[in-house]
Each structure stands twice: as C-alpha cells, then as structure tokens.
Chains A and B, each alone.
Chain A
Amino acid sequence: MAELTELSLADARDGLKRRDFSALELARAHLDAVSAAGDLNAFVTQTDEHALKMAEASDARLADGSAGPLEGIPLAIKDLFCTEGILTTASSHILDGFVPTYESTVTAQLWRDGAVLVGKTGCDEFAMGSSNETSYYGPVINPWRRKSDGAKLVPGGSSGGSASAVAGRLAMGATATDTGGSIRQPAAFTGTVGLKPTYGRCSRWGIVAFASSLDQAGPLTRTVRDSAIMLGSMAGHDPKDTTSIDTPVPDYEAAMTGDIRGMRIGIPKEYRVDNMPEDVDALWQKGVEWLKAAGAEIQEVSLPHTKYALPAYYIVAPAEASSNLARYDGVRYGLRVPGEDLIDMYENTRAAGFGPEVKRRVLIGTYVLSAGYYDAYYIKAQRVRTLIKRDFEQAFEAVDMILTPTTPNAAFAPGEITDPVTMYLNDIFTVTVNMAGLPGISVPAGLSADGLPLGLQLIGKAFDEETLFRGAGVLEEAAGFDARPDHWWA
C-alpha cells in the first residue's frame, strides 16, 4: 500500500469516500513512512496510537455517512499549535514537558472535520528562523538534495518540519504558521504549496505566539487544490481571538475555475533586486508568460517602500516577541532552573531555556521598546509599516494580484549562512505581505540550476484568497511541476 502516500489530499478524500481503502490503511501507510524517515528529523513527536484511534473513528463515520470534509486525512501539525494531552514544544527547551490542557482552535476545526493527526513537526525555536537550524531538537532536513554535491539541505523555516513532512510524503498536508515568510519560504525550498492567509482569516488562539500582529496560520500541501481544501477547515471566526474576522468562509475549492482571463497581474519593479540569481529571474519571467498565455493582463506596479519592510519587521517582530515570551518564567510551565532568589531563577531559566536566535530577538525587542528608544525604533517602524500597506493599497487599485519570486535563492546547506542579517534576507520577498496583513501563496514552479525547487508567489487583496487560489491553480497547471526528490532517507 506504499502508493497511498502518493495520493493528493483531494484524491485520498475521494478514495476514502468510495471505500477504495480505509482511513486505517491510509494512516498506517503514513505512520510507516514517518517511522522510516528519521533522517529527515521532521517530527518532534510521533502520535501513532492517537492516529490509529482517530482513523478508526473516521472509518466508522465514513461507514455511517457522517464523514466530515477531511475525514480520514493524515495531517502533520507544526509543534507551535497546542494539542490537548500531547506534548507541545515550539521546538524550544524552555517548554520541556509542556502538555496543553486545551486544543488550538485551528487544530480543533481540523479534527471536527475528520482529519487524523500523524505527529507534531519541528520548526525553528518559537518560529524564529529561516532554516530550522534554531530548533532545540536539531535541524530538520530537506528531502531535496543538490545535484552538484548531494549535500543535505535545510527545508527553510520556520515551518520546515511541516514542509519536509509534506514533501517527503509523510503527511498529506500540514499546518504551519507564517510571521515573515515561515510558510511560503519552506514551501518554495521543498517544492510544496504554502499559503499564508489574510491576517484574521484563521484564529490564532492556542498557537504559541511569536509576533501577534503578524502571525497567521495556514496550510502546507502538495497541490493548490489541497491547500484550498485545508484552508476551508482551518479558517473562520473565533470568539476567543479578537483579531479573527467574522466573515463567511467561502468554498475555496470551487474558486479554482482555471479562468483568469482579463485578470490584471502586477509585477512590482522593486522586487528586481541586485544579484538576483539568473534561474530565479528566469522563472519569474516564465510565470509572467504563463499567466499572459492564460489570458491575464500583465502590468508593472510600484511598491516603493519594499526595501524597508525587512528592517521594519526586525523591529516590530522582536518587540512583540520580547513581550510574548515574557511568560516563560519557570513558574507556570516548562523548564525551571533554580537560582538564589526569584529573579535569579528567572534569569537562569531563560538563559538555559532559550537558544541564541531567540535570545537575540528578545534582547533586540527589549532594547527597541526601552525608555528613550521606543519612538525612534518602534513607532518609526510602525509608521513605515503604514507606508508599506499604503503601497499595496495603491497597487491593488490597478491590479487583482501581484506575482513575485517566493525567495531570492533555493535551499542552502545547514551552517552555510551564519550571519543573522544574511539569514534574515531570505524573507525579502515574503515579509512585505505580513507587514500589510495580506494573503500570499507560494507555488512550486521550476528547478534551480542545481536541481532544487523554486517557488513563485502570488499576493492578493485582503480576504480575497479565492482569487489567489484561482491564479495559483493556473500557475500550477502551466508549470506542471512534477520533479521529485530521490527517496534517499529510507
């Protein structure tokens, strides 16, 4: 039954309904694949027993006609989503042994719709990173390897475990979160589809918080249709998250009509950065041609504050993180390292519990929020953010979607980037979208000169994920991306 893991989520859903195979068989096939993929280090926790129980319940519902839209579909969950009764670590030492007594809203909706949990995936510690190297549980490895030297590569970050699990056929889809590119960049690095919905589309309740004004949950899948199906279950208003928006959840799958005739696509001239690799630029041009051939109108747009998005992000996100991470104090959950007094205990616990990247960001955040610097850094960055959002609003007066590369380069090897600022530049094309609260999707569109996947990103208007799915579906079909990594890990 090895081929069961090859099915798309949509095909598996239909196969289960036809009773071609059972949810239990589907779950077992994926659990076996997870067990054999230790070399990818995609999971922090495997939940085999739990998965088999859920699959049995799915089979019962499939038999009695009460099946939900995701009935029996094996999913991986980023270890940033709290799961009741199941270890949740955010890939940090400081959450040692934390077993939530509640379930995040997004995962609760997935289980409501019948999905099956195969395990919790590794990520950068507290979702802070672009390579998965900051995880306390060791780096996740990308199923893809370079043609030139066969080196093991990072899957991107922070949702690297989810991306590797989906690309490696260990799960049919996975949840992820995106604060500056953490869904789309790993999607591009692993040849998968990653959607960051509009801020407020999915509830943040029960997701370990990093930067609350930027964090948004979304799906990682192998096809655009699968992404649309998963978002349908993840999205929706939640009274427990005051920033989640009370607006109906459309039928995203139905939006994939394949018809983009007359649609206006913007190409932002500021994204033509210096030193852009030739293969990335060439793929972007191909994307333009594909959309044009499908009947879309292409026009140049200007987003003049693009280059300031990343530095503004590195004020806003650490500021919010320093505040959110204040709760890890050795008192309420996780790790405690004793000290001479209360403050000494706090300081010892946080020194031992946080890794270097988290410490850097908490300290930067503390600095930019401290007396005398608040206006110069934090308020300044929030003013720049207003300008970034205004850029998009002006562009969207003329176009329906914007097409860009997802990342400025393909996946790299662990240890290849050691300078923090160079690492931050990975998010140069994705971070603007978070700063403006917009939806963005990365679609695998081609291979780099060294045989690695590259993604194209479509950016949409707020709460217009439907148009995004329509455009992404057209890109996916035109690109016909069917390259596969060698199955070296098992």
Chain B
Amino acid sequence: MSVDQATVRHIARLARIKVSDTEAETLQGELSAILDWVEQLSEVDTDGVAPMTSVVEAEMKKREDAVTDGDIPDDIVRNAPERDDHFFVVPKVVE
C-alpha cells in the first residue's frame, strides 16, 4: 500500500502537523515503506478471531461516582505557555 502526496497532506492536516513540500516528499516514501511492510498481516487468517481489547483479563475496578480531586486551578494552568488568571489563552476563534 503506497500513499500519494495528497494523502500525506490530508493525514498531516488531520494530525495537525504542518509539513513542508520536502517533508511531504520524504514522508511519502517512508510511510509507504512502513505500510508495505505491515501489509504482510493480510497473510494471517483472522476469520472468527476477536480483536484484542484488553491484554490482561481483569474486571475493571469501579469506584463511587464522586468528586475525589479538585480545587487546583493554579496547578492546572501553571504550565500553560499563555494564561490569564485561571484561563488558557488561545488565538481568537470566534470573530
């Protein structure tokens, strides 16, 4: 399975990573090579085999649906590159 330039640009857009023309060209080759290589999985007969959802068989522990943490707004925004009081600041979204 090989991908074309348009596909590379499309998935880069989905992943929110800007790629230059040169990068897109390199990535096209690299991603195609990786996808070619994983293609060998099609040899495996997986009819009737359930996809794995959990590698260790265990009942997930549940807890009471109650607030157990909070009141730490200073901590939450402390590492933000840009903040105002207890808000994350982002470029203008709504005109």
Contact = CB atoms under 8 A, between A and B. Distances in A.
B93 A342 contact: yes
Given A330-B81, A384-B46, A245 B58 contact: yes
Nearest to B34: A364
Contact of A333 (B27, B30, B79): B79
Contact of B18 (A350, A367, A435): A350
A249 interface: no
B67 interface: no
Given A246-B61, A336-B82, A345-B90, A385 B11 contact: no
Contact of A387 (B11, B37, B49): B49
Contacts of A354: 17
A213 B55 contact: yes
A370 B35 CA distance: 14
A383 to B, nearest CB: 4
A364 B31 contact: yes
Q: Which of B13, B30, B38 has the most CB of A within 10 A?
A: B38
B19 A382 contact: no
Interface string B37-62: 11111111010011111111010110
B60 A383 contact: no
A389 B52 contact: yes
A444 B18 CA distance: 43
A312 B39 CA distance: 10
B31 A363 contact: yes
Interface residues of B, number: 51
Interface residues on A, range: 35 or more
Contacts of A462: 56
A429 interface: no
Contacts of B15: 322, 350, 362-363, 366
A364 B81 CA distance: 28
A275 interface: no
Contacts of B27: 359-360, 363
B51 A383 contact: yes
A384 B43 CA distance: 11
A385 B44 CA distance: 11
Interface stretch (A68-76, A263-271, A373-381, A481-489): A373-381
A101 to B, nearest CB: 4
Interface in A23-64: none
A367 B31 contact: yes
Interface string A94-127: 0001111110000000000000000000000000
A198 interface: yes
A119 B10 CA distance: 41
Contact of B80 (A245, A246, A333, A363): A333
A436 interface: yes
Given A347-B16, A387-B46, A389-B52, A239 B63 contact: yes
Contacts of A384: 41, 44, 46
Interface string A331-342: 111111011111
B70 interface: no
Contacts of B13: 347
Contacts of A334: 79, 81
A379 B51 contact: yes
A311 interface: yes
Contacts of A382: 51-53
A437 B14 contact: no
A351 B52 contact: no
A327 to B, nearest CB: 11
Contact of B17 (A342, A359, A367, A383): A359
A308 interface: yes
Contact of A99 (B56, B79, B92): B79
A246 B59 CA distance: 10
B81 to A, nearest CB: 4
Nearest to A329: B16
Nearest to B68: A239
B78 interface: yes
Nearest to A358: B17
A20 to B, nearest CB: 42
Contacts of B19: 351, 359
A305 interface: yes
Contact of A360 (B34, B50, B61, B92): B34
B62 to A, nearest CB: 9
A322 B17 CA distance: 11
A386 B31 contact: no
B51 A332 contact: no
Nearest to A357: B30
Given A239-B63, A344-B91, 20 more contacts: A97-B79, A100-B79, A101-B72, A308-B41, A314-B37, A315-B38, A315-B41, A331-B80, A332-B80, A341-B92, A344-B18, A345-B90, A347-B18, A350-B16, A351-B19, A363-B27, A367-B3, A367-B35, A377-B38, A437-B56
18 contacts: A101-B72, A239-B61, A308-B40, A311-B38, A315-B38, A331-B80, A331-B81, A334-B81, A342-B91, A348-B18, A360-B27, A363-B17, A384-B44, A384-B46, A386-B49, A386-B51, A421-B37, A436-B55
Complex A-B, nearest 9 residue pairs according to Cβ-Cβ distance, in ascending order: A437-B55, A382-B51, A336-B81, A333-B79, A383-B46, A347-B18, A351-B18, A101-B75, A311-B38
